Amino acid sequence: MEQFEIVQRAESRAPDILFKPAQFRISVVGEDQCTLASYNRRDFYKISLILTGRSRLFYANRGIEITAPALVFTNPLIPYSWEMLHEEPSGYFCILSDSFLHHNGRTENLEESPLFKVGGDPIYHLNPEQTAYLESIFQRIRQEADSEYVFKLDVIRNQVSLIIHEAIKMQPALAYFTHTNASSRIAKLFLNLLEKQFPVDSPENMLKLKKASDYAEKLSVHVNHLNAAVQEVTGRSTTAHINDRLLTEAKSLLQYTIWSVADIAFSLGFEYASYFNNFFKKHTGNTPLVFRKSL
């Protein structure tokens, strides 16, 4: 797999030996066993171009079947995995950090992009014209990665931007409609605040916002007002959103870390491990240990 490290000099530091690294990788699907260090979802975004084959993407708490061709965007805030159906898919993928596109003052912010937004649809099915165009871009990135051109990383950034903007053009107009009523604004603030608490990186720090009332206090609204706004806009209760996100994070911690169940319980805001066990079993039918052993 082509892999290169983008080196950025740390701001306000004069010595040449001080650098801030960021990464970009590109590969053909199936040609390498490309794995990242365990539980580093915060660091990398992934863009995949699936040309042939069938697969299923497990994204957060959803399972989405992909029929080729498709462009897929995965967010480091959301745990995901792939399951191959029948034949091995073919295509390309690239892995990049947000700082890759921020190099030299560029303003693209992947976390704010509608393509990577939490709760959004990560899959874009392509027509033949779109497929051919995007395949040619990925091919050019591969060629540029093998070249000796001094500024090839700048060229690659531009090519990645073309992929992102091509997908943005596929977005329905609704994705860019900004709700102006109070309920929509409050619901959006709540969802953003909820997501900013994750992923959990240390078993030593307990989650700060645990209940609907915690979020209401942080947003300076009455808890009943928050609950009504979230229910109106999303069709689900504030507590349901919080529980779903806790459950998603709990499964990721059980799968990708070696933390004890007690440590996971503490980090997710449960005062006692028994409370966490009851919560997890209520929503999954299994205890955390049974879930971990089944992986």
Q: What is the pLDDT of residues 139-196, one digit of tens each?
A: 999 999 888 999 988 899 899 989 988 888 887 543 443 444 778 888 888 988 898 8
Please give the distance of CA 147 from its chain centroid, rounded to a whole number.
30
- How is residue 129 written in tokens? 């014209």
pLDDT in tens, 264-284: 999 999 989 999 999 999 999
Residue carrying structure tokens 């209940």: 211
| 89-to-2, 57, 59, 148, 278 alpha-carbon distances in Å | 20, 12, 18, 31, 40
Mean pLDDT (whole number) for 75-89 = 71
What is the enclosing helix (H) or strand (E) of 241? helix 238-256
pTM: 0.54
- Find the mean pLDDT for residues 69-75: 87
User: How confident is the model at residue 77, as a pLDDT?
Assistant: 63
pLDDT tens track for 193-240? 898 888 888 888 889 899 999 999 888 889 999 999 999 888 999 999
Q: Contact at 8 Å (CB) between 48 and 126? A: no
